[in-house]
Amino acid sequence: CASDGGSGGGGGGDDLITVGFAQTGSESGWRSANTESLKTALSEENGFKLVFNAADNKQEAQIAAVRSFINQGVDAIVIAPITVDGWDDVLTEAKDAGIPVILEDRTVSASDDLYASWVGLDFEKEGETAGTWVKDNFDGQAQNLVVLEGTTGSSAALDRATGFDKAIEGTDINVLDSQTGDFTRDGGKKVMEGFLQKYGNQINILFAHNDDMGLGALDAITAAGLVPGQDIKIVTIDAVHDGMQALADGKFNYIVECNPLLGEKVADLVKKVVAGDSVEKREIVPDQSFDQDQAKEALPTRPY
């Protein structure tokens, strides 16, 4: 029998804001923390009805999800865009339908008239911080470095590469190779195995665009009879729990943080744009970085 009142069944309570969230997928520890943060902030208790979609890192699937949100007539759409390019058409469709779009995490190349706001991280600065650590510690030692890149065409991978390259420019650090591991542990492991086969013990430093690829690479390095953190120095980005544990254990050497806890900021933006209030076009959330001792100290109180 029909219930009356309370949390409302199916149809969505009249005062709940219906939000479609098009997530990239579930490629990494960072992504899990980001998804959880948004799900918590966009909960019914907070006044939202969330329609969640994870696209398995396939941009066509993510665009299809956004289209389906438009067809469902949601009140607002949140996107963590997998790639930078390819968004003009669907963002125009959302705009024409009068549905505001909030971008979180990564950026897009489309005109900023097509979305209400973006909240995320300064990926170029993260890459630059990682590169500066390499420069400060290894310039003048003719070290060989390999890179595990994030998802091809994602702003996180593109901007981290730009920042890193800028920081090591003019040093004698030699970049032997740079390939995508798609931000996954599996990808990091496979690509690192290939690097080790090709370059043997020539590799002195690994820069991984995220912790998960670095964690995957640990297996490959150990299997090759090398000691991670010593024979191969490792710098990564994210500072999720397993990465911080590897750093505290001496297997990683440095991590630049990338904060995934964007849920409350996103929820606040959604409320404002739906109410017709004006919002900032861009908001950058600050990051820190950790060496091994700082990781030991920070680990017990890290929220993710």
Nearest alpha carbon to residue 167 among 195, 139, 188, 142:
139
Compute the least distance from the CB of residue 10 to ligand GYE, in Å. Answer: 33
Cβ 79 to ligand GYE, closest distance in Å?
12
Query: Nearer to ligand GYE by C-beta: 100 or 260?
Result: 260
**Cβ contacts of residue 175 below 8 Å, gap of 6+?**
145, 146, 147, 168
**102 with 115: CB under 8 angstroms?**
yes
Is residue 185 close enough to count as binding ligand GYE by CB under 6 A?
Answer: no
CB nearer to ligand GYE: pick between 62 and 210 = 210
Report if residue 238 touches ligand GYE, rule: CB under 6 A.
yes
Kind plus residue range of the DSSP H or E element containing 16: none
Q: What is the C-alpha to C-alpha distance for residues 95 and 161, in angstroms, rounded to an integer? A: 32
Calculate ∠ Cα 247-210-268, nearest 5°: 105
Least Å distance, CB 156 to ligand GYE, is 4
Q: Is 156 in the site for ligand GYE (CB under 6 A)?
A: yes
Site for ligand GYE in 242-261 (CB under 6 A): 258
Interface pattern 91-110 for ligand GYE (x via CB under 6 A): --------------xx----
N residues, the chain: 304
Strands in the chain per DSSP E: 17-23, 48-54, 76-79, 101-105, 117-120, 144-149, 174-180, 205-208, 233-238, 254-257, 282-284, 289-291
Compare residues 75 and 238 and give the one whose CB is closer to ligand GYE. 238
Site size with ligand GYE, rule: CB under 6 A: 13
Closer to ligand GYE by Cβ: residue 70 or 102? 102
SS3 content of the chain, % helix, strand, coil (to 5): 45, 20, 35
Name the one range near ligand GYE by CB under 6 A: 27-35, 87-95, 216-224, 293-301. 27-35
Distances (CA, A) of 291 to 23, 219, 248, 257: 31, 21, 8, 11
Q: How many CA atoms lie within 13 A of 206 on its CB side?
A: 39
String marking each residue 28-47 x if it binds ligand GYE according to CB under 6 A? x-xx----------------
Pick the closer one to ligand GYE by CB: 75 or 212: 212
106 or 265: whose CB is closer to ligand GYE? 106
The interface region with ligand GYE, picked from 23-31, 46-54, 170-178, 296-304 by CB under 6 A, is: 23-31
Smallest separation (angstroms) from ligand GYE to the CB of 34 = 7
Closest contact distance (angstroms) between CB of 151 and ligand GYE is 7
Closest approach of ligand GYE to the CB of residue 238, in Å: 5
For every residue of 111-124, DSSP letters joined together read: -GGGSSEEEE--HH
User: Do residues 82 and 57 touch, judged by C-beta distance below 8 A?
Assistant: yes
Sign of the dihedral through C-alpha 169, 172, 178, 183:
negative
Q: Which residues make up the interface to ligand GYE (CB under 6 A)? A: 27-28, 30-31, 105-106, 156, 183, 210, 212, 237-238, 258
